[in-house]
Structures are given as C-alpha cells and as structure tokens.
Amino acid sequence: MWYGKLRALRLLALLGAFCFVAGASLPGLTLVNRYSPLNKERSPRQATEYIILHTTEGPGKGSLDKLRKYGEAHYLVDTDGTVYRIIDRKRIAMHAGRSMWQGRANLDAVSVGIEIVGYHDRPITAAQKTALKELLRQLQSVYKLPDSRVLPHSMVAYGRPNRWHPKPHRGRKRCAMYLGRESLRAEIGLHEKPSFDPDVRAGRLVVADAALERVLYGPDPAASKSRTSSVAVDTNDSAVIRAGRSAWDIAREQYNAAGTIYRFPDGTTRKGSEIRDWGSLPAGTRVTIANRDSEREGGSDRVQEIGKDGKNAWEIAAGAYNDADTIYFLLDGRVRKGNELSRDNLDTLPAGTRMLVGYLDGGFLSRARSAYDAVGPRWNLATTFYRFPDGAIVSGSEIDESKLPNRTMVFVPR
Ligand SMILES: [Zn+2]
C-alpha cells in the first residue's frame, strides 16, 4: 500500500519533470520555451482577431535564431513537429509587417503569428501538420477564432506603391501561400476560408501578383481529379528578368536593397541600391538576394531618403507621394504630410529629405502625454518612429521612454 503510493508519487514527479523540460502547458503538443530576449519588453496585445501563418523560407536552426533575436513570431513549428515558444502569446510579436485585412492595418497588434519551418511553394511535413492542427485548435479555442480568421501571411501582407505598382497592392509576400488552399487547410483542421480578398474588392488594394491570387482564391488543383490542373498555377520563381518578369517580381521590396545583386548579360554586376534607371534593365539580368535578413518584418528600412532610396518623392512613394499618410521630414526642420505640400514643392524636395510612407502622425509628446498615451501598446515596436526636436528619427525599439524630450513627435504605420 505504502510502496504503491511511493511509486505513484515518483511517477507524478517524473511527469512533472517532463512537463517542466518540455514547457508543455498545452496538452498533446511538444512545446519548448525558447523565449526571445525581447519577450519581456513587448506590450500585451489588447485584442486577438487573427492567427497568421508564415513559412520561414529557410532551415529550422537559423530561423529559430533569427526569430528569437528580433522577436518575430509567437511560435515556430519545426519539421519534426516540435513547437518553440518565442514570444508569449499574450504579447505583441513583429511578424506581419505591412499588413491589412478588411480595412484593418498592422495586424501585429491583433494577431498571433506562427512560423512553420519550410517554404511557401513546398509541402510541409506530416509531423508539422499534426502539431499545427493541435496548436491551432487550442489557440482558436482560447481566442474564439473561426477558421476563416486563420490566414497565410501572403493573404494579408501588402506593399507600398513603387514604380511597377503605383497603388498599394497585394503580393508583397508569397509567405505560406499554400496554407490558403482548401486541401492543405483541411489537413490542419481548417474548413472555412475567405473566398475573396476584401481589401481588393473594396478598392483599398490592387492585385500585383496574379499567380498568388490564383493560389489563394482560385480552384485548388489537389481538390480536382485531373492531374493536368495541378500545373495550372504558374508560380514561376525564376530569378532572371525577362518580358513579364520584373525586378520587383523577383525581389519584391528588396529590389533596390544593397544586398540585392543584379548580374547583367555582359557579366557586370550592380547592387540594387546603385541602380537608378529601373526601366532599362536588360532581359537576361540575373537577380540574387544576398541578404534575406533585410526582408525582416521589423522596420529599420522604413525611413527612406530622397537621393538614396529614389531620385525623388515620386520614385519612393509612387502614387502615395501626395497622400496624408506620407510624411516628409524637410531639411529646414519642418514636418509635413504629402497633402500639405504643393506639387511644385514635392517635385523639388532636395536630396536628404527623409520620408515615411503609410504612416499616421501620433502628434507631439510632453510630460502630460506619454508615448503610450499617443500610440498605445505599439509605442516600443521597431516600426514606430520618433522624431526628436533635434531632427533625429529613432525607431520605437531603440528609444528610452523616460528620456523622450518635450515636443518629440511619434509616427505609427497606418
Ligand atoms: Zn511571413
């Protein structure tokens, strides 16, 4: 009797030790805590309306390190089904970047982000499907979210205007696009999905990637009996520029980055940041993205500069250059919105003028008005920017809130 009790106790202790090691607070999942050093600094999320699915586009180890370093996901699902916790699910993770769904922008503030080790155009493993199914079931139950609110990143990401797409557009990412397909969704327990893009239908965005749109909303080839239909979706990922395949199609928003290398047919090479005349890139030019890191959904690359990121305001903001949410930091110290400057002003802004595209003015801070008062829980995110009275522009992830001078201005993504 006594001996039996001891055995039961030992069993309990063993189980306890196992749960501690695995960090498993949710039953039926192998959860391992690998919290980001940024976890504790992230504000609690005020609401949870979506779960956003991502593919890492790289192997597990390096992805886990990067995601932890920048606090870019709540969970990572490895190929063997292990689920790593990176940011506490109650806090804000930076995973969706420039995003919009049903008119609501910046979904980081209202979503849980799950990264899946794998690639947007390749199948995920059986172990990942099993783990994802259970993780989703539990998160959907905690947050009361229907299947139609579990969305691939590519469905909600959008791009700022550029020389190829002068309007804000869908297609900035192909991240996790196969998780928009009915057949794969069914395998992870999701039985409903959006049947159209609400922001495209409402005219807020245009479609910049027709192949992606077919994957997300077109007929699912796996659901059809015909084998030939499985090649109906052209997701041509060739890295060579030709008619109908632009630098943007290949590199997306990395097209003009220093880490994007163009190798011309004559053998010479150039960095994306050195190219000015995007209209004259010859067919046969090969594009290599050397630094995928700069594709992070953080924010450091969002402050742009006339003369550096583009010849003029139009090249940087395209169709949005005179919009109220394009912010100009003029060289004389004034800060103006696109709709406050005359066309003549806009055309002649000198090199060195800095810009934020797609940003809202949170106003001035003072002793009586803190950063949190002005912009809420997003105050310390990398995508929030502070403009100090001396003209310096600093990301929210780098500021010390107790040292913000009077009359500091704050800007948050729309
Ligand atoms: Zn993603």
* Model confidence band, residue 15 (pLDDT cutoffs 50, 70, 90): very low
**Listed ranges 149-153, 287-291, 370-374; the one with the highest mean pLDDT:** 149-153
Instruction: State the distance from the centre of ligand 1 to the C-alpha of 392, rounded, in angstroms.
Output: 30
Instruction: State the distance from the centre of ligand 1 to the C-alpha of 194, rounded, in angstroms.
Output: 18
* Model confidence band, residue 300 (pLDDT cutoffs 50, 70, 90): low
* Model confidence band, residue 2 (pLDDT cutoffs 50, 70, 90): very low
* Model confidence band, residue 109 (pLDDT cutoffs 50, 70, 90): very high
Q: Where are the domains of the chain?
A: 22-231, 247-293, 300-413
Q: What is the pLDDT of residue 225?
A: 55
Instruction: State the distance from the centre of ligand 1 to the C-alpha of 406, rounded, in angstroms.
Output: 37
Q: What mean pLDDT comes out for the span 190-196?
A: 97
Instruction: State the distance from the centre of ligand 1 to the C-alpha of 99, rounded, in angstroms.
Output: 10
Instruction: State the distance from the centre of ligand 1 to the C-alpha of 153, rounded, in angstroms.
Output: 5
Closest CA to 84 of 109, 61, 50: 61
Instruction: State the distance from the centre of ligand 1 to the C-alpha of 96, rounded, in angstroms.
Output: 6
| Residue percentage of the chain with pLDDT more than 90 | 62
Instruction: State the distance from the centre of ligand 1 to the C-alpha of 157, rounded, in angstroms.
Output: 8
Instruction: State the distance from the centre of ligand 1 to the C-alpha of 73, rounded, in angstroms.
Output: 9
* Model confidence band, residue 236 (pLDDT cutoffs 50, 70, 90): low
* Model confidence band, residue 8 (pLDDT cutoffs 50, 70, 90): low
Q: What mean pLDDT comes out for the span 185-192?
A: 97
Instruction: State the distance from the centre of ligand 1 to the C-alpha of 255, rounded, in angstroms.
Output: 18
Q: What mean pLDDT comes out for the span 82-97?
A: 96
Instruction: State the distance from the centre of ligand 1 to the C-alpha of 263, rounded, in angstroms.
Output: 27
CA angle 42, 92, 130 (to 5 degrees): 125
Closest CA to 135 of 150, 117, 121, 118: 150
Q: What is the pLDDT of residue 383?
A: 87
Q: What is the pLDDT of residue 132?
A: 97
Instruction: State the distance from the centre of ligand 1 to the C-alpha of 97, rounded, in angstroms.
Output: 8
Instruction: State the distance from the centre of ligand 1 to the C-alpha of 156, rounded, in angstroms.
Output: 10
Instruction: State the distance from the centre of ligand 1 to the C-alpha of 54, rounded, in angstroms.
Output: 4
Instruction: State the distance from the centre of ligand 1 to the C-alpha of 262, rounded, in angstroms.
Output: 25
Instruction: State the distance from the centre of ligand 1 to the C-alpha of 220, rounded, in angstroms.
Output: 21
Which has more confidence, 128 or 233?
128
Q: What mean pLDDT comes out for the span 30-39?
A: 95
* Model confidence band, residue 123 (pLDDT cutoffs 50, 70, 90): very high
Buried b / exposed e over 330-344, threshold 16 CB at 10 Å, is beeeebebbeebeee
Q: What is the pLDDT of residue 310?
A: 77
Q: What mean pLDDT comes out for the span 239-255?
A: 89
Residue 26 is encoded by which pair of tokens?
A: 């949710």
Instruction: State the distance from the centre of ligand 1 to the C-alpha of 2, rounded, in angstroms.
Output: 56
Helices (H) and strands (E) in the chain, counts: 11, 22
pLDDT in tens, 264-299: 999 999 988 888 888 889 999 999 987 666 566 766
Which has more confidence, 318 or 341?
341
Instruction: State the distance from the centre of ligand 1 to the C-alpha of 53, rounded, in angstroms.
Output: 7
CA dihedral 359, 365, 371, 376 (to 10 degrees): -60
Instruction: State the distance from the centre of ligand 1 to the C-alpha of 176, rounded, in angstroms.
Output: 7
Instruction: State the distance from the centre of ligand 1 to the C-alpha of 348, rounded, in angstroms.
Output: 37
Instruction: State the distance from the centre of ligand 1 to the C-alpha of 394, rounded, in angstroms.
Output: 25
Instruction: State the distance from the centre of ligand 1 to the C-alpha of 117, rounded, in angstroms.
Output: 11
For residue 305, give Cα distances in angstroms to 68, 129, 160, 209, 270: 30, 44, 15, 27, 20
The average confidence (pLDDT) of the chain is: 87
Instruction: State the distance from the centre of ligand 1 to the C-alpha of 365, rounded, in angstroms.
Output: 33
Q: What mean pLDDT comes out for the span 402-410?
A: 93
Kind of pairing, strands 158-159 and 354-357? unpaired
Instruction: State the distance from the centre of ligand 1 to the C-alpha of 137, rounded, in angstroms.
Output: 21
The CATH classification number of 22-231 equals 3.40.80.10
Instruction: State the distance from the centre of ligand 1 to the C-alpha of 112, rounded, in angstroms.
Output: 12
Instruction: State the distance from the centre of ligand 1 to the C-alpha of 146, rounded, in angstroms.
Output: 21
Q: What mean pLDDT comes out for the span 124-142?
A: 97
Q: What is the pLDDT of residue 414?
A: 83
Judged against a pLDDT cut of 80, whether residue 231 lies above it is answered with no
Instruction: State the distance from the centre of ligand 1 to the C-alpha of 186, rounded, in angstroms.
Output: 21
Which has more confidence, 292 or 123?
123
Q: What is the pLDDT of residue 42?
A: 92
Judged against a pLDDT cut of 50, whether residue 40 lies above it is answered with yes
Backbone angles phi, psi at 102, to 5 degrees: 50, 40
Q: What is the pLDDT of residue 174?
A: 95
The region of weakest confidence among 7-11, 62-66, 163-167 is: 7-11
DSSP letter for each residue of 14-43: HHHHHHHHHT--STTS-EEE---TTGGGSP
For residue 223, give Cα distances in angstroms to 177, 182, 183, 227: 16, 8, 6, 10
The pTM assigned to this predicted structure is 0.82
pLDDT in tens, 339-369: 999 888 888 899 999 999 889 999 999 999 9
Judged against a pLDDT cut of 60, whether residue 16 lies above it is answered with no
Instruction: State the distance from the centre of ligand 1 to the C-alpha of 155, rounded, in angstroms.
Output: 10
